[in-house]
């Protein structure tokens, strides 16, 4: 949907995705080292444009570009499938080595729990993506589900692990992300000043 | 007195929640808990403990426990 939510902190900003971001998103999702853990992306850029055009018409779907404060795009993140105060988050794809993971996750939780007032947020991660599973564990999220053959990537079924964050856990999650986000903020500032 | 290697391994164990670690030297990919969140926390604690400053480039080059030891020893000798 065409939302207007922008948040920033720790040297990172989440802003609404625009149609002009299509080429960046398409290139990002087709980065070989990232593509193995995310849903298949059509090689045609026009399909990404079409997908975004449909997204703009869809209610309850908040898709963001993650960027530096100087507007350099670093990745994407989204909140969607909203029902009765519960939603999924994902589409979390960041340029390799950009250090924006803690800040982008923290800002996304802020949007979910402080702005959208959600009571529960869940995410689904490919079982083999052990580093991201560990990231969610260390944030303090509980593993609440297992979906056998939950997604299809590169013509193969993959199992998914579900993590859930509840609104009452937001303060704990924020604390668990804070140190790492501060560390990354210094590097983002150093890179911006070069 | 503890060696730098001993101090680094102790720090790693503490930050990673006390889980058993492989014999030193080991790679990040051998330890599932050494994710991007913990990697940043490890760098933060390393800077605090040893009074050193680590750049993003140096952090990106850390592939395992020996790189952390080398980074601390190199920073000390270069100081």
The mean per-residue pLDDT over the stretch A15-40 comes to 90
* Residue of A38, A18, A19, A20 lying closest to A28 (CA atoms): A38
pLDDT recorded at residue B78? 60
Residue numbers in B near A72 (CB within 8 A): none
Q: Are the beta carbons of B55 and A132 separated by less than 8 Å?
A: no
Q: Which of A186, A189, A193 to mutate to test the interface with B (most CBs of B within 10 A)?
A: A186
* Residue of A68, A66, A82, A72 lying closest to A16 (CA atoms): A66
Q: Which of B35, B38, B39, B60 to mutate to test the interface with A (most CBs of A within 10 A)?
A: B35
How far apart, in Å, are the Cα atoms of B56 and each of A46, A159, B39, B61?
A: 36, 34, 12, 9
Can you name the residues that pair with A125 across neighbouring β-strands?
A161
Whether A134 and chain B come into contact, CB under 8 Å, resolves to yes
pLDDT recorded at residue A88? 98
Share of chain A above pLDDT 70, in %: 100
Tell me the C-alpha distance between A38 and A96, whole Å.
14
Residue numbers in A near B35 (CB within 8 A): 131-132, 134-135, 138
The mean per-residue pLDDT over the stretch A7-24 comes to 97
Whether A187 and chain B come into contact, CB under 8 Å, resolves to yes
The pTM (predicted TM-score) of the whole model is: 0.91
pLDDT recorded at residue A13? 98
Task: State pLDDT tens for residues A153-175.
Answer: 888 999 999 999 999 999 999 99
Whether A32 shows a pLDDT value over 90: the answer reads no
Buried b (16+ CB within 10 A) or exposed e, B32-58: ebbbbbbbbbbbbbbbeebebebebee
Task: State pLDDT tens for residues B29-76.
Answer: 999 999 989 999 999 999 999 999 999 889 889 999 999 999 999 887
Question: Got the DSSP string for A72-117?
Answer: -EEEEEEEEEEETTEEEEEEEEE-TT---HHHHHHHHHHIIIIIS-
Closest residue on chain A to B33 (Cα) = A134
């Amino acid at each position: 949907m065409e939302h207007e939510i922008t948040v920033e902190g720790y040297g990172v900003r989440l802003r609404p995705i625009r149609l002009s971001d299509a080429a960046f998103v398409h290139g990002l999702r087709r980065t070989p080292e990232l593509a193995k853990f995310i849903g298949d992306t059509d090689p045609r850029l026009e399909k990404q444009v079409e997908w975004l055009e449909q997204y703009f018409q869809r209610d309850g779907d908040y898709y963001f570009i993650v960027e530096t404060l100087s507007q350099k795009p670093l990745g994407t993140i989204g909140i969607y499938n909203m029902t009765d105060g519960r939603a999924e988050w994902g589409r979390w794809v960041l340029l390799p080595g950009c250090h924006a993971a803690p800040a982008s996750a923290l800002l996304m939780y802020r949007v979910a729990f402080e702005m959208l007032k959600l009571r529960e947020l869940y995410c689904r991660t490919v079982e083999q993506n052990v580093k991201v599973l560990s990231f969610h564990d260390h944030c303090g999220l509980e593993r609440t589900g297992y979906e056998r053959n939950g997604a299809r990537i590169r013509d193969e079924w993959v199992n998914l692990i579900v993590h859930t964050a509840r609104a009452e856990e937001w303060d704990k999650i924020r604390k668990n992300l804070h140190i790492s986000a501060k560390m990354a903020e210094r590097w983002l500032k150093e890179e911006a000043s070069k | 007195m503890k060696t730098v290697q001993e101090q680094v391994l102790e720090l790693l164990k503490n930050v990673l929640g006390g889980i058993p670690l492989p014999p030193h030297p080991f790679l990040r990919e051998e330890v599932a808990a050494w994710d991007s969140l913990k990697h940043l926390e490890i760098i933060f604690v390393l800077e605090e403990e040893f009074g050193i400053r680590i750049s993003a480039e140096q952090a990106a080059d850390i592939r395992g426990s020996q790189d952390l030891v080398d980074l601390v020893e190199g920073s000390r000798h270069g100081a």
